[in-house]
Amino acid sequence: MQNHPSRPSDSEIIRRIIDGDVNSFEYLLNKYQDHVLRIVKKHIPYNEVEETAHNVFVRAYQALPGFKEQGSFKQWLSAITVRTCYDFWRKQYRSRELPMSDLSERHRDWLEKKMSSESDLSFSEESRAKEAGELLDWALSKLSAEDRMVIELVYLEGLSVKEASGLLGWSVSNVKVRSFRSRKKLKTLLTGVISP
């Protein structure tokens, strides 16, 4: 990707910020906010998205002097975003603020209908998106913070183990083992829901 001649590069902006020009950070914020928000929205409950995204940019701002220009800024920021989301869940599990609700009859009925339906309509075209979201939240709430992150990145997002390990800052073997175990846990959970 080529830089536009009139637009400063990320490294140039970072240099300005480190030199004391705080307002230059707004350029990075504008450029990467959609990317950061897209990641945060998928990992964090809706009512906590804004606060978590703020935390991501604050962490990135404070860590700017440590940014090595070996990789891209976007990649570096993605790792900070994923780790901030992981920290959010660790904090939630530690303070036990996580809602541990069970699946209601409404969800089970919906799932039963969904399973027996032969319709091939895409999900977004259907009116019952809320139930699917709640089912996903329920399944993920039964997992630990670590398992949740691995499931979301590898199983749902479709990232490779290496990519997920880079984002989380864990070793590849750790992610591989966790991915296997958490997938097994999720399968047990979901099989319990769909089996009669």
Partner 1 sequence: MKPLQRKYEALKKILREAYFEKEHAEVSEQWQVNAMRRIRNLGPVQLEPSFFTLFEQFVWRLTPATCLLIIIGAIIFLKLGFFPNYDVLTLFINDTEELSLAQLF
- Enumerate binding residues for partner 1 (CB under 8 A): 17-18, 20, 22-23, 25-26, 29-30, 33, 37-38, 41-42, 46, 49-50, 53-54, 57-58, 61-62, 64-65, 111, 114-115, 122-124, 129, 132-133, 135-136, 139, 152, 156-157, 187, 190-191, 193-195
Nearer to partner 1, 26 or 172 (CB): 26
Nearer to partner 1, 50 or 109 (CB): 50
Nearer to partner 1, 5 or 130 (CB): 130
Nearest approach, Cβ of 2 to partner 1 (angstroms)? 27
Nearer to partner 1, 37 or 79 (CB): 37
Nearer to partner 1, 100 or 115 (CB): 115
Nearest approach, Cβ of 177 to partner 1 (angstroms)? 21
Nearest approach, Cβ of 18 to partner 1 (angstroms)? 6
The full 3-state SS of the chain, as one line of letters, equals CCCCCCCCCHHHHHHHHHCCCHHHHHHHHHHHHHHHHHHHHHHCCHHHHHHHHHHHHHHHHHHHHHCCCCCCHHHHHHHHHHHHHHHHHHHHHHHCCCCCCCCCHHHHHHHHHHHHCCCCCCHHHCCCHHHHHHHHHHHHHCCCHHHHHHHHHHHHCCCCHHHHHHHHCCCHHHHHHHHHHHHHHHHHHHHHHHCC
